[in-house]
Amino acid sequence: MRTDLLAGAGVGLAAYLIFTGGVDRVAPLLLLAALGAAVAAAGHARGTPPGLGAAAPGRRPSTSITFDDIGGQDTAKRELREALDFVIQRQAAARLGIRPLRGILLTGPPGTGKTLLARAAATYTGSAFLSASGGEFIEVYAGVGAQRVRTLFQRARQAARETPSRSAVLFIDELEVIGGRRGRQVSHLEYDQTLNQLLVEMDGIDRHPEQVVVIGATNRVDLLDEALLRPGRFDRVVRVDLPDRRGRREILELHLRGRPLAPDVDIDALARDTYGFSGAHLEAVVNEAAILAWRQGRSRIEACHLAEAVEKVLLGERADRRPSDDERRRVAYHEAGHALISEMLQPGSVASVTIVSRGAALGYVRQRPQDDVWLQTRRQLENDARVALAGYAAERLVFGEASTAAGDDLRRVAEIVERIIAAGLSRLGPVDSERAPVDAVQQVRAEITAALLEDVEAALARHRPALDRLAQRLFEQETLSGEEARRELGHLEPPAPQPPAPAGHTAAGQAAAATRPDPEGWQRPGGEWPAS
């Protein structure tokens, strides 16, 4: 009987009793009935099988994705295909005594395509596909998560029976929510019970004729319980990294396919300018560029739309705030300092300079990397730190003191110096910076930072006319392309190799200069960092 009919009948009965005066006789019965209905409703909510309730896991996609629809992840796709071949050729694998594949773990930064890879895996094997998120299993009531895990695997086996391949791919996103190390949630054992049930279900996969492959995805593999990672549960761990330049080009081509493009769109240049972007970022760039073209009434996506979209995805929307002229002049010198040192270290590296507020930044310099960088020497790390210090140093040179605009820059410098020490590239040598004497590590940090700041201040003072020209043009025009900025800067002489500091300099500067291995001068590495 429908619930709404029961509710209507109950309201009618209550009205009849009120008018006839029989409420006193049946009031206890009505109270007990109301309590029973509440308990039944709560039990129904707790016992709702996944996929049948509004918040239950076990969704199925409406469209299929193939590996050809995913760009920039050739290594991950190859590893997945090799693992999934055991599912496709299970009889041949069984003749060699190969046990069925139980689980594949996808790890990597957000937005790199882990969900798409799981859906493509189901298409590749001809399997049914079910998806769930780790957060959907956890409830305040003990035992609910474990019940949902059991029901989800039952649904996966039922879906597998309905496919010709008699197999299913069960995708669990945010696996660290239910797969975290046991014992961490001391006050609540629901997490541990849910993980225990997941381990039991994965161990019992072989007892059923249907084959269910569990694909988990996580950004924090370090949080997962060791029992979940052992062989026999997640048999393969596939790393899904950020795409390189070639991969970014493939992703951009996929998202730009079928869209009207202007002749000035250079996909190679766009792939180079989006260093460090994930697949989700690149999709957002293309979508934002299309929105900009639509708002301007253009029939095609132009290069200017894509450039604006890159900056919007990187830093956010343009802000409405309008600083005073004194603040704008200070920001202009700050960003001009970043641009000057960047061009000195690597000519052609500046893509754009602006003092227009965007997001939390009052201005920024967007750099154009030459090549993707996978490792860095001390010299390259120091040059990154020099670019970061240039805004702070330019403010001190021109105005006599710096401002809070350099806060993010100085935090980045501290991170770079920490990497130098942690990698064994400082005078401390190969040492664990967390276990080394605090005073010694702090002294080396101060030495490196002081020496770098001294180098940057000397370079800016030597090229003060170029700094003034660029800052003045920025103050007037607000935004300059890389080519316009280079015309204002003119020819910049690279600094000569740095000898040990002469007498009279600071002790920290002398120590750092004497130990700094910089015989070949400054060299700018590839890489992108938007100065703030």
Give me the pLDDT at residue 256, please.
93
Q: Is the CB of residue 104 less than 8 Å from the CB of residue 236?
A: yes
206-249 pLDDT, tens digit per residue, is: 677 788 899 999 998 888 888 888 888 888 899 999 998 899 99
Higher pLDDT among residues 502 and 222, named by residue: 222
Long-range contacts of 424-428, Cβ-Cβ distance < 8 Å, separation of 24 or more: 425/377, 425/378, 425/381, 426/378, 427/515
Q: Is the CB of residue 447 less than 8 Å from the CB of residue 512?
A: yes
| Mean pLDDT score across all residues of the chain | 80
Give me the pLDDT at residue 391, please.
94
For the stretch 299-309, what's the b/e string if a residue is b when 16 or more beta carbons lie within 10 angstroms of its beta carbon? eebbbbbbbbb
How far apart are the C-alpha atoms of 161 and 153, rounded to whole Å?
12
- On the question of pLDDT at 80 being above 80, the answer is yes
Q: Is 528 a known active-site residue?
A: no
Nearest C-alpha neighbor of 241 from the set 278, 280, 271: 278
Tokens, residue 60: 């199925």
Q: Is the CB of residue 180 less than 8 Å from the CB of residue 223?
A: yes
- On the question of pLDDT at 508 being above 50, the answer is no
Amino acid at position 437, single letter: P
Catalytic residue among 174, 201, 335, 395: 335
Give me the pLDDT at residue 9, please.
57
448-495 pLDDT, tens digit per residue, is: 999 999 999 999 999 999 999 999 999 999 889 889 999 999 878 766
| Radius of gyration (C-alpha) of the chain in whole angstroms | 31
Higher pLDDT among residues 372 and 375, named by residue: 375
- On the question of pLDDT at 522 being above 70, the answer is no
Q: Is the CB of residue 364 less than 8 Å from the CB of residue 531?
A: yes
- On the question of pLDDT at 5 being above 60, the answer is no
- On the question of pLDDT at 141 being above 70, the answer is no
Higher pLDDT among residues 510 and 89, named by residue: 89
Q: Is the CB of residue 137 less than 8 Å from the CB of residue 177?
A: yes
- On the question of pLDDT at 342 being above 70, the answer is yes
Terminal CA-CA length for the chain = 65
- On the question of pLDDT at 44 being above 80, the answer is no
Higher pLDDT among residues 290 and 139, named by residue: 290
Confidence of residue 506 (pLDDT cuts 50, 70, 90): very low
Higher pLDDT among residues 373 and 357, named by residue: 357
Q: Is the CB of residue 519 less than 8 Å from the CB of residue 497?
A: yes
Q: Is the CB of residue 96 less than 8 Å from the CB of residue 154?
A: no
Beta partners for residue 167, in sequence order:
211
81-135 pLDDT, tens digit per residue, is: 988 888 888 888 878 888 778 889 999 999 999 999 999 999 999 999 998 888 7
0.85 exceeded by pTM: no
- On the question of pLDDT at 416 being above 90, the answer is yes
